[in-house]
Amino acid sequence: MANFNGLMKQAQQMQAKMGALQKELAVKEFEGSAGGGAVKVVVNGKQELLSLSIDKECVNPDDVEMLEELVKTAVSQAYKTSLDSVSNAMSKVTGGLNIPGMF
């Protein structure tokens, strides 16, 4: 019974740490860019798009596909950076234990 109580206490501590981590990551910002900074994207730790900026020099009505590709690249980079940071932070809290649905 003592083992069970100890396990429950550890689970509660981990849950509290994860809650604090979620709040911290929700306000942390991650940037992605493409085209030498012509397109910049900022997302938070919840993978919400916060901002998108496009340098007017890369806007060419005759080459919309290039702009689309730059935007996709910048967004993907920002999301990947955010997800990697969340994963690393969660790993530190859980000791590498993968808990599906936590983030």
Radius of gyration of the chain (CA): 19
Q: The domain 2-94 belongs to what CATH superfamily?
A: Nucleoid-associated protein YbaB-like domain (3.30.1310.10)
Summarize pLDDT for 73-85 with one digit per residue, the tens: 999 999 999 999 9
Q: Is the pLDDT of residue 92 over 60?
A: yes
Exposed e or buried b per residue across 60-91, where buried means at least 16 C-beta atoms within 10 angstroms of its C-beta: eeeeeeebeebbebbbebbbeebeeebeebbe
Helix axis angle, 64-94 to 2-27, nearest 10°: 150
The winner for highest mean pLDDT among 14-28, 33-47, 77-91 is 33-47
The model's pTM is 0.73
pLDDT at 90: 80
Q: Tell me the domain boundaries of the chain.
A: 2-94
